[in-house]
Amino acid sequence: MIDILNFIHWNINPEIFHLGSLSVRWYGLFFASGFLLGYYIIEQMFKREKEDEKWLDSLFFYLIIATIVGSRLGHVFFYSWDYYSQNPSEILMVWHGGLASHGGALGVIIAMYLHSKLITKRSVLWTLDRIIVPTAMIAGFIRIGNLMNSEIYGIETTLPWGVIFEQNGEIAAKHPTQIYEALAYLLVFAVLMLIYWKTSSRKKPGLLLGIFFILMFSFRFLIEFIKEDQEAFEAGMALNMGQWLSIPFILFGIYLLVRAIQKPEKIYKRKVVKSKKI
């Protein structure tokens, strides 16, 4: 017989404190902290490359909106369309929960394409190669937020680090897949930071983005094997929805990596507009 005392009992309140009728949650704290640190990292990149730091505010505005909207629509269309097609008024109710990282990734790609065309006038790969570095860190922070919410955990386990999520009424230990993913994503962040700062990768369009897609979604694909199904329709599927959605990103990442390695380095120069003398 398995002794449940040997496992970790998780009973953290997801709310930190209340401000009137509003509650401040751990999830929101980690989400916001990730974006603040991400802003600082991109700012240092721009300083290193002598790029226009005026792009930063609009860049992160696009990024935050794209992450929230893309993740929400990803959940709606990939996981719960049967429900939301009958309750369309609830699609925008993000505070009720329901975000999908694959949708967030697609949202960010679209937003960065628009930002590149409208503001930086650089290729979308130039923008994505830089913002995906802190994005890996933000993804790790979000998974820690999921842990604080006692959500998105794994199947039963007898391993000593199994967690009993008492907030949800669980009595059996489960794989803390939020921790597995958080550690994996923070490892990807460390790898991307090392490559960006120690190599000439920034001159190889698509290189960092390709590495990001391959590592992030390979980790996601593997961890999904021990994660509980997010929706009832996934029961009995050889691969769940998260795994099917990860495959195209991995393949696209391989394409970008090979393409970047084969192409010669590209040097970006900041355009300086000279004022005309009257």
The pLDDT value recorded for residue 277 is 46
Domain contains 104: no
Stretch 109-138: mean pLDDT, rounded? Answer: 93
CA-derived radius of gyration, the chain? 21
Domain contains 190: yes
Domain contains 78: no
Domain hosting residue 223, numbered range: 34-52+125-230+237-262
Stretch 245-250: mean pLDDT, rounded? Answer: 95
The SS3 call for residue 155 is coil
pLDDT > 90 fraction of the chain, expressed in percent and rounded: 62
Lowest-pLDDT range, 55-64, 194-203, 225-234?
A: 225-234
Q: What is the pTM of this model?
A: 0.86
Tell me whether residue 1 is exposed, middle or buried, using C-beta atoms within 10 angstroms of its C-beta: 0 to 12, 13 to 18, 19 or more.
exposed
Q: Which long-range contacts (CB under 8 A, 24 or more apart) does 64-69 make?
A: 64/35, 65/111, 66/104, 66/107, 66/108, 66/110, 66/111, 66/112, 67/104, 67/107, 67/108, 67/138, 68/94, 68/99, 68/104, 69/107
When divided into structural domains, the chain yields a total of 1
